[in-house]
Amino acid sequence: MNTPRQALVHRLPASAPDDVTALVQAVDRGEIDPRAIVAVLGKTEGNGCVNDFSRGLATQALKHAIARLARRDLDDVARDVAFVMSGGTEGGLSPHWLVFEVRDAPAAPATPAAPPVQASRAGATAAGPATEGVATLAIGVAITPAFLPEEIGRMPQALRTAEAVQAAMRAAGIADARDVHYVQVKCPLLTRARIEQAYGRGRDVATEDTYLSMGYSRGASALGVALALGEVSADALSDARVCRDAGLYSGRASTSAGIELMENQIMVLGNSTAWRSDYIVGHGVMRDALDVDAVDTALASVGLRMGGELRGPGRERVAAVLAKAEPSQTGAIRGRRHTMLDDSDIHASRHARALVGGVLAGVFGETQLFVSGGAEHQGPDGGGPVAVIARRGP
């Protein structure tokens, strides 16, 4: 009989892209087992563009810290732990790390017994400790092989991403795609040197614009998630539709491109009765940047209610908030003109992060929010997925 697993989530502050102090202190206090870390998501204070080296700096600092703390080889950590760094903390967003662990579940519940509540497909489990028969947070991680530059932003990236998402689901013991609530993907981008490598082999690339390559990579990866979760069909996908057909999207994908890798690193979050976690995850899909009803849907799916700013015990139960942000291509929000797409000084995705970050901060009373810009094929135009991980409460 397989030992039930337990997922743990830790939200830690960061004073700089290479600041691992909070992680080291949590390990020293016995709160985190560095050998059990399977993924780290980070918000860094770079510009989120091609030359955002804060992401690579953060990844290197975290890899070295985890290797040292876990007394593991650096290459083993790089192979086994997914590092997803999202640059850009515009507005009031705070740099931070989200550290995910997977451990063997304790033999007995750590809290007094209470009547279990069966989780719905939306992820709602409002009462009781993590007990048998209750769906709780499950985590699966997978990493694709490295892509060639000519594959980035095209169907090879989408198809391999879909295979990796399904592998991560199997690793997490999630059999039904409806039990998946959030899929985080870190994907590569094109640089001039990578483009020249492709040309040197007689190949072309999706785009010669290195900034646009981030969108193509995010878009192809998101379509791979949508394919894996049954949100789109394989015959609906082609190279020509990547970043061109906004009607194709995933309501559960969050993809972030960076210069620091050539593969896709993938983490699947869902709920499963095979796990004995003290957390659950749920999600909603924002139709636009102001859609707090979708945030309320995400909260309800984890047994919380908003009713204005989340306060008191409810706020304390929230372990992480993850969302996508993208300016609507129509140039309007609910019929009112916005100027995000016309600003030549600050890229539109940076405006969008600040806007959505402010909306969510007002709901959660918290600025350590994982708000990622660039939502190609991640939710409808101008909107995007929002996921909430919460501790199970009485």
Check whether 133 is labelled as a binding-site residue.
no
Check whether 54 is labelled as a binding-site residue.
no
- Cβ–Cβ contacts within 10 Å for residue 108, how many? 7
Check whether 256 is labelled as a binding-site residue.
yes
Query: CA distances (Å), 134 to each of 16, 270, 271, in order?
Result: 39, 13, 9
Check whether 380 is labelled as a binding-site residue.
yes
Residue 63 a catalytic site member: no
Check whether 348 is labelled as a binding-site residue.
no
Check whether 372 is labelled as a binding-site residue.
yes
Locate 268 and state its tokens: 């699947």
Check whether 257 is labelled as a binding-site residue.
yes
Pick the catalytic residue: 254, 256, 277, 328?
A: 256
CA 253 to chain centre: 7
Check whether 317 is labelled as a binding-site residue.
no
Check whether 375 is labelled as a binding-site residue.
yes
Residue 186 a catalytic site member: yes
Question: Residue 392 corresponds to which amino acid?
Answer: R
Check whether 218 is labelled as a binding-site residue.
yes
Pick the catalytic residue: 43, 54, 186, 250?
A: 186
Binding residues for substrate: 55, 86-87, 218, 256-257, 353, 372-373
Detail the residues annotated as belonging to a binding site: 55, 86-87, 218, 256-257, 326, 353, 372-373, 375, 378-380, 383
Q: Which residues are catalytic?
A: 186, 256
- Enumerate the known binding-site residues for Mg(2+): 326, 375, 378-380, 383
